[in-house]
Amino acid sequence: MSDKQTLNDLAVFGGPVAFEEVRHVGAPNVGDRARLLERINAALDRRWLTNDGPYVQEFEKRIAELCGVRHCVATSNATIALEITVRALDIQGEVIIPSMTFIATAHALQWQGITPVFCDVDAESFTLDADRIEELVTPRTSAIIGVHLWGRSCRIDKLTDLAQRRNLKIVFDAAHAFGCSWNGEMIGGFGDAEVFSFHATKFLNSFEGGAVVTNNDELAAKLRVMRNFGFAGYDNVVSVGTNGKMSEVSAAMGLTGLESLDEFIAVNSRNYRQYREELSDVDGVTLLEYDDAEKQNYQYVVLLVDDQITRATRDQLMDLLWAENVRARRYFYPGCHRMQPYDSLYPQPAGRLRVTERLVQQVLLVPTGTTISSQDISTICRIIRFAVSHGAEINRLMSAEVGTHAG
Ligand SMILES: Cc1ncc(COP(=O)(O)O)c(C=O)c1O
């Protein structure tokens, strides 16, 4: 790629694109392909493709061991894992969640007639602000769902204390946080249950997949029945259930990924450090830091763009990167509370989600993972640096146009 010397070198203004092939946030990690195909062949030979097969059982055992929890119940995705967890815990009425999360956290509740009550995040961890929860608790509140956003854990101690004090259930949406720790203990064993996602965009993936992890024996038994239509044995349906089973092919992918886990972490960590280094002198662009004292999966490289300083807005920077074939993302713009049906059903009083409202205007995720090279990162950082150094002019020129991509 030729470097950007003038504004006309930017693809958004007609210059050559930096990348012929699109660079994505969350391009899937694939482990040893030969090993994966071997496993898939063995599953085909066994003619055991789903319904609690040997790979699913092995995958569950490995996940439970890695997290130091008694039970792992693998599912077809994390959304259904959240849904059955909520149902198995008899959560009803209202549940307090952050608005700063992927929409599935809210949908898993609303889908079954439970009201998600959106709470702000604190300005440091960007996870549920424990000090703002109390004012949202009503007689209908039955639970709190904290989200370990981008793998950075919630204030688990504060949230757990509060839940105990107010007699609420507490679940953690740990979709981003497999392989991470809090206070030296692996995420997975906290609260009543935690939920992982193994979706293709996640650090460890099983194509589609999820899991509930818990130390509660009774809950785990209930979840196993619920994810399988309520069957407790042949011809014996004991409760309402759904189809939330993980397939053998998915478990084969998950098991194969687990064998490369250390490599995935090493690559992510290296990428994160390179972005941090190369963007350190770009005023107005702050890279969200991970606490290296904890175990981290470093799956998300999150930039916060302060447009008072960069002058070019976060959205302009995003559009400009998209034009270069860099699909930078605004996870999770505009916040669940601004999406439907929540915006119409539960309009938020001004100021209640102050930190969230600011954050969703600033966040920009950039590509990382095993498909992104060190050279790619340097190129992306150079584009960002160049754009910010011409921020005011870019703002003027791009304000005159309609944005190229809405995200
Ligand atoms: C915070 C959060 N919760 C839940 C989910 C849902 O996961 P899945 O796609 O496995 O259903 C996601 C997925 O991206 C997520 O980011």
206 Cβ inside 6 Å of ligand 1: no
pLDDT at 402: 58
Closest atom of ligand 1 to CA, residue 332:
16
Give the residue, out of 99, 102, 336, with the most ligand 1 atoms within 8 A of its beta carbon, to mutate for a pocket test: 102
Rounded CA separation 401/14 (Å)? 13
Give the distance (Å) from ligand 1 centre to CA of residue 308. 32
207-218 residue pLDDT tens? 999 999 999 999
101 Cβ inside 6 Å of ligand 1: yes
Give the distance (Å) from ligand 1 centre to CA of residue 365. 16
104 Cβ inside 6 Å of ligand 1: yes
In percent, the amount of the chain with pLDDT more than 90 equals: 97
pLDDT at 405: 52
Beta partners for 326?
A: 23
Q: Is the pLDDT of residue 407 over 60?
A: no
DSSP annotation of 3 reads -
Q: Is the pLDDT of residue 270 over 80?
A: yes
234-247 residue pLDDT tens? 999 999 999 999 99
Q: Atom 7, ligand 1: which residue's CA is nearest?
A: 78
Give the residue, out of 79, 103, 332, 333, with the most ligand 1 atoms within 8 A of its beta carbon, to mutate for a pocket test: 79
pLDDT tier, 2 (very low <50, low <70, confident <90, very high otherwise)? low
162-178 residue pLDDT tens? 999 999 999 999 999 99
pLDDT at 400: 85
Give the distance (Å) from ligand 1 centre to CA of residue 380. 27
- Residue 296 CB partners (closer than 8 Å, separation 6+): 151, 179, 180, 265, 269, 290
348-359 residue pLDDT tens? 999 999 999 999
Residue 116 CB-density burial (10 A; 0-12 exposed, 13-18 middle, 19+ buried): buried
State mean pLDDT over 14-23: 97
322-348 residue pLDDT tens? 999 999 999 999 999 999 999 999 999
Give the distance (Å) from ligand 1 centre to CA of residue 196. 8
147 Cβ inside 6 Å of ligand 1: yes
Rounded CA separation 179/164 (Å)? 26
pLDDT tier, 406 (very low <50, low <70, confident <90, very high otherwise)? very low
103-122 residue pLDDT tens? 999 999 999 999 999 999 99
pLDDT at 231: 98
Q: Is the pLDDT of residue 1 over 70?
A: no
pLDDT at 64: 98
